[in-house]
Structure 1
Amino acid sequence: MSGLFKTYRVLALVVGVLLVVGTIGSVLKYGLPDGSTLQRLGEDLTPVWLVHGWIYMIYVVIAFVLTQRAGWPLTRFLLMMVAGLVPGLIFWVERRVASQLRDEHPELARR
């Protein structure tokens, strides 16, 4: 795999996991009574959003470079960006991007 493609895949998975963990933390923090054990766990998970934000910015840059090298339209890049903001969607998008990149540009996705 090329370094760019490998970096994209790793970042996509990390962003996806952080997004799911952050969402669960928010549901626990705001959806449960104050002071309960799970509500405190939700509060403790709040810093996950900061980490997600920083890694998401790096993900966006890498996704942009990847789409430019592949010659893909802006809409595909926008889908990749939105995927990092909707819990669970990034896992599906990452698989589609990997499949399309292997089919259309094997030189960028070589193993």
Structure 2
Amino acid sequence: MTKLFNVYRVLALVVGVLLVVGTLGSLLKYLLEDGSTLQQLGDDLTPIWLVHGWIYIVYVVVAFLLSQKARWSIPQLLLMLVAGLIPGLIFWVEHRVAVRLREDHPELARS
């Protein structure tokens, strides 16, 4: 079970980084003047969303399995899932999940 927790943590960080980079890329792409270097960088970062989407799907499955093992409520699971869609939130949620899992189920969170 420790492996599931570690996989969750890695996926949360990867999803979070991809979400932030994708958001910054979109801001550059759509808010800056067409043809500028930074606008082109934003355009070049567009495939990040495809990668984020596929990894997010794996994250959803792992978050669901972890919440089932920990016997957490639906609102806790929903918070974990929504965190992968709001830039920056996933880092706070991942920390909260780690703390709560270590307190409530130390056998699941051994690192």
Structure 2 residue aligned with 1:3: 3
TM-score of the aligned structures, taking structure 2 as reference length: 0.98
Instruction: Say whether 1:68 aligns with 2:68.
Output: yes
Distance in 2, matches of 1:28 and 1:79, equals 28
Counterpart of 1:88? 88
Partner of 1:24: 24
Runs of 4+ in 1 over 3 A off after TM superposition: none
RMSD: 0.8
> What per-residue deviation string (whole Å, max 9, x for no partner) do you get for residues 31-88 of structure 1?
0010000000000000000000000000000000000000000110000000000000
Q: What is the alpha-carbon distance in structure 1 between the residues aligned to residue 67 and residue 23 of structure 2?
A: 28
Q: How many correspondences in the alignment?
A: 111
- Structure 1 alignment gaps of length 5 or more: none
Deviation, structure 1 residue 110: 1.2
Q: Helix, strand or coil: the match of 1:53? A: helix
Q: Which runs of 5+ in 2 are unaligned?
A: none
Structure 2 Cα separation of the partners of residues 38 and 110 of structure 1: 43
Distance 1:2 1:68 in 2: 14
Distance in 1 (CA, whole Å) between partners of 2:81 and 2:33 is 34
| Cα distance in 2 between the residues matched to 1:31 and 1:63 | 34
CA distance in 2, matches of 1:67, 1:2: 13
Q: Residue 12 of structure 2 aligns to which amino acid in structure 1?
A: A
Matching residue of 1:105? 105
Instruction: Output the TM-score relative to the length of structure 1.
Output: 0.98
Work out the percentage of aligned pairs sharing the same amino acid.
Answer: 72
